[in-house]
Amino acid sequence: METSPLIQMNGITKSYGSNVVLRDIDLAVRRQEVVVVIGPSGSGKSTLLRCMNLLERPDGGDVRIKGQSLTAKGVDIAAVRAEVGMVFQRFNLFPHMSVLDNVMLAPVQVRKRPPEEAKAKALALLAKVGLTEKADAKPESLSGGQAQRVAIARALAMEPEILLFDEPTSALDPEMVGEVLAVMKTLAAEGMTMVVVTHEMGFAREVGDRLLFMEQGAIVEEGVPREMFESPRQERTKLFLSKVL
Amino acid sequence: MDFRFDIIEYYAPQLLKGTLLTIGISLAAIVVGSALGLGVGFGKMSSVRALRWPVSAYINFFRGTPLILQVLIVHFILIPPILGTTNGVVAAIAALGLNCAAYTAEIYRAGIQSIDAGQREAAYSLGLTRRQAMRFVILPQAVKRMIPAFGNEFIVLIKDSSLVAWIAVPELMYWSNAMKGQYLRVWEPYLTAALIYFILTYSLSKLLGYIERRV
């Protein structure tokens, strides 16, 4: 029986100059939980996500992954990041490598897996996201939806315990959103712990275990997605949902 | 106009020797400058102020003073205490290499900083260390963008290597001057030298163009 949360954030603050992006955020994500974060642009949701693997360093507060503090001195941050996968809005595939090499790079270099083993694993993951035939392609030849599915396979290759999604479908043409969400739904069903920043309210309602609404650097309201969509308690949540639903 | 091909023919062995030395010095300086420039470039990007300051001073000095003076300073002031004697070829390679490093440092820096931040973030998010991200993700992409700038720098270096004739390094410019002195004619030695320099730089630019397409 595991009780301690996978991600524990306490009193996270972050500012850029005089612009306060995160105000004293507390958040705990349990194993196998799918937490969906919504809110207007500039509300701090991407920054919050990026604090979870220290792509952004919080000004104050503590981030713990499996009880290990990321903000303490002397932490091997690369080792912690290896356990926390991230999928970006702009995919960020490595354009000078084939799709297969994109997926294999970290397992071989970070986990020191033998290349044959990493390749077999990578091909299995590409099959899982439906892109076996693209293994030797260069990222530039992929559609947005395909690129994002490769990016998910690349993150999964490290066998992370947590996957962070930073607006994974926002840069996609509408007809490609579905294929990426389908992969994400499969992962959620398999028990992957996920934190998803998104504007896809359908996904939030269907897949999310918990919904966070952020505005101006604070979590305004959180709850079960269905209940929050149907009867938001806060006026600001109501106002936001009335615009996006 | 009488253009005396016969004296060019007569002087061909010296011109050839000079050309080979020009090529040798230039290649050595390119190697020194590119390797040193990588270190200097990373120093310039360092978050440590104590490292950035001397590196900036180095770059400013070598970009802000005439190369001919740098050649003379290296030859007469820097090399003798190290080798115990003057050595024209060593001084030439050192001066050209040090000068080249100041320029390539900026090429490395600009190339590396031109890579989208998302690439570095993706590498970090996969658990790669800074060094691994640089080696496997950033540099391979940056190098391709750096090639044209490197080409320009190397072409400038080949042409500027003619300045080391001042410290009596027997390269192409040195022998052209010697030829002028011997025959008291300017057209033949200088036009011949110009043609040879042009062939060297033009070949290099073609080679780099080829490499750029292949990378």
- Across the interface, whether the CB atoms of B125 and A78 are under 8 A apart is answered no
> What domain range includes position A85?
7-242
Using left for φ > 0, alpha for ψ between -120 and 50, and beta otherwise, residue A43 falls in alpha
CA–centroid distance for A173 within its chain: 20
Is A47 contained in some domain?
yes
Position A1 in a domain: no
**How many whole angstroms separate alpha carbon A222 and alpha carbon A35?**
10
Query: In terms of CA atoms, which chain A residue is nearest residue B119?
Result: A92
- What whole-number percentage of chain B has pLDDT above 70? 100
Q: Is the per-residue pLDDT at A234 higher than 60?
A: yes
| pLDDT given for residue A2 in this prediction | 54
Average pLDDT, integer, range A143-156: 97
State how far the alpha carbon of B156 is from the alpha carbons of B198, B201, B210, in Å: 11, 8, 19
Q: Report in angstroms the alpha-carbon separations of B83 from A43, B68, B76, B160.
A: 64, 21, 11, 24
Distance to chain A for B147, nearest Cα, Å: 15
DSSP H or E segment with residue A184: helix A174-189
Please check the confidence at residue A86 and state whether its pLDDT lies above 60. Answer: yes
Residue B206 has a CB neighbour count (10 Å cut-off) of 11
Q: What is the pLDDT of residue B140?
A: 93
pLDDT, tens digit (0-9, with 9 covering 90-100), for B81-137: 999 999 999 999 999 999 999 999 999 999 999 999 999 999 999 999 999 999 999
Number of domains in chain A: 1
> What confidence tens digit (pLDDT) does each residue in A197-215 have?
999 999 999 999 999 999 9
User: For all residues of chain A together, what is the average pLDDT?
Assistant: 95
CATH for B5-214, options being 3.40.50.300, 1.10.150.110, 1.10.3720.10, 3.40.50.2020? 1.10.3720.10
Number of Cβ pairs < 8 A linking chain A and chain B: 64
Q: Is the separation of the CB atoms in B127 and A78 below 8 Å?
A: yes
| In the predicted structure, residue A154 carries a pLDDT above the cut 90 | yes
Residues 6 or more apart whose CB falls under 8 angstroms from that of A237 comprise A213, A220, A221, A228
Contact between residue A125 and residue A157 where contact means Cβ atoms under 8 Å apart: yes
Residue A71: CATH number of its domain: 3.40.50.300
Average pLDDT rounded to a whole number, residues A120-130: 97
What residues pair up with A219 in beta bridges, in sequence order? A214
B136 interaction partners in chain A (CB closer than 8 Å)? 105, 109
pLDDT tens digit sequence for B47-90: 899 999 999 999 999 999 999 999 999 999 999 999 999 999 99
Whether the predicted interface score ipTM is above 0.90: yes
CA of B111, closest CA in chain A: separation in Å? 15
Q: Are B196 and B19 in contact (CB under 8 A)?
A: yes
pLDDT category at A1 given cuts 50, 70, 90 is very low
pLDDT digits (tens, 9 = 90+) for A25-60: 999 999 999 999 999 999 999 999 999 999 999 999
Tokens 């007469």 locate to B76
The pLDDT confidence band at residue B165, using thresholds 50, 70 and 90, is very high
Q: What is the pTM of this model?
A: 0.85
| B contacts of A93 (beta carbons < 8 Å) | 122
User: CA angle, corner A126, sides to A80 and A117, nearest 5?
Assistant: 65
- Report CB contact under 8 Å: A78, B128: yes
Check CB contact under 8 Å for A106 and B118: no
* Residues in chain A whose Cβ is within 8 Å of chain B: 53, 55, 78-79, 81-86, 88, 90, 92-96, 105-106, 109-110, 151, 154-155, 158, 164
Assess if residue A66 is contained within a domain. Answer: yes
Does A219 map to a domain? yes
